[in-house]
Chain A
Amino acid sequence: MRHLFFLALLVAGFDLTGGAQQFATREAHISFLSETPVEDIKAESQEASAILDVATGGLAFQVPILSFHFPKALMEEHFNENYMESAKFPKASFRGTVMGWDPDGDAQQEVVAKGKLDMHGVSVAREVTGTMTRTTSGWMIGATFSVPCTDHNIDIPKVVSENIAEVIDVTLTATLLPR
């Protein structure tokens, strides 16, 4: 009996600390759109990673540049070789803190994540507005924001300036589960 009591206490010891503190995914979805009168260029990645720490509000995203896929192979080559230089800068990331949110709230919340967007070797301080929704097992995060190419030293030569927008619209959705 005493064995069982201590065993129960032992299990309770783990359980008493409550639910998970960190939520994460390796299958977040990031897409972007370059819109010009000449053409719209859209690319998507399903291989972004995201992690949220409920205790601190810490939030981080990371995506391999090579995981973005385009409708045309040539666009993908130019994206990796000429613009993002993915061999030198293989990943883009955001790390920051979610401001003014209620970790216990049930409804969808509008939040601001304040942090650094690191892309093409240039880190830029950003405040990104997005939404967070508590699900039965984790968190859903969504955000849409703009990235000016010049912010990250991404050079668009004159010959293709009619085809590629100076400001790229990025959309991100992630379903985070206990880590």
Chain B
Amino acid sequence: MKHVSFLRASVALVFAGFALASPLSAQDDLMDFFDEPTGPQVVTSAFKAGRIINVQSPETSGKGEMNFIIAHRFGRISDGAYALWGLDNAQMRMGLDYGLTDRLQVGVARSSFGKTLEVNAKWRFLEQKSGGGSPVSLTGYSVLMRDGMRFPEDGIGRLGIHRISYVHQVVVARKFSPEFSLALIPSLVHRNLVDQPARANDVGTLGAGFRYKLNNRLSVNGEYHYLLPRPIPDDPELRNSLSLGLDIETGGHVFQLHITNSRGMFERSFLSETAGRWQDGDLYFGFNINRVFQVGSRR
């Protein structure tokens, strides 16, 4: 009995063997081979340029890429026809950003505003990934700024170190759809010396910025930075920075046109020293032009 049942089982198994390896299974749709899930994919290009308007976006120069940024902020629109609504009078910033890797960038810049020189570093240390990865990208940015104005002849003994200020920030960004990206940007400003006793050396801000793509070459951008309460009563003339703009891409260039109530184009200035009031027309028209050159190898 035992042997008979073993025989039956064996025969059944042999037929099962034929059935499993039968050519019929080879007729299955080949496309099922492609259905196997792939790993999480990096979500790229949340923003077009390295800056949303004034503030850093999560984007960095690619490895070996030199990004030349020339930016202007004209005078106040409220200055009227005599100053051609501000166009007679421009502040300028020239910057170079270089990608050491696809995620780590170093830069230098010079602004005519305060004759300020800056050196900066930016590192996107976490990528947003679809399919089970991180829902946001995290980018750290630090900049050291050196004010270059002559010290006033007021008898106060200032040192070179007093020209220095720093800003550190983290950009938490998410590309929600191919069109819409949002970033939250907490920042800390430290000034070695402030120009009024009532001003705090350390100022915190909480910022937000967005990009909405109208088409593949045009997007609307905006950003806002809220000054966090400071420990000592501060200058009542300080304002939160609010900017709105357009990004226009043409091949190797990105043109960014905007209006903002911040005149300076480096972080200390627009985060902690913005004085313009939107409701009074204290607005500055300006642009950033980004031009990319591949100077080093990508591999």
Contact = CB atoms under 8 A, between A and B. Distances in A.
Interface of A: 2-3, 6-7, 9-10, 13-14, 16-17, 21-22, 24, 49, 51, 53-56, 58-60, 62, 64, 66, 70-74, 76-78, 80-82, 85, 87-88, 91, 93, 95, 157, 159-160, 163, 179
Interface residues of B, number: 46
Interface of B: 3, 6-7, 10-11, 13-15, 17-18, 20-23, 25-27, 30-31, 33-34, 38, 41-42, 44-45, 61-65, 99, 102, 177-178, 216-217, 249-252, 292, 294, 297-299
Given A53-B30, A73-B102, A2 B3 contact: yes
A9 B10 contact: yes
B7 A6 contact: yes
Given A73-B63, A77-B44, A60 B17 contact: no
A159 B178 contact: no
A24 B252 CA distance: 40
B45 A73 contact: no
A110 B250 CA distance: 43
B22 A74 contact: no
A80 B45 contact: yes
Contacts of A73: 61-65, 99, 102, 294, 298
Contacts of A2: 3, 6-7
Given A72-B298, A159-B250, A87 B178 contact: yes
B238 to A, nearest CB: 37
Across chains A and B, which 3 residue pairs bring their CB atoms closest together, nearest first?
Answer: A73-B62, A21-B26, A13-B17
A17 B19 CA distance: 10
A22 B20 CA distance: 14
A95 B26 contact: no
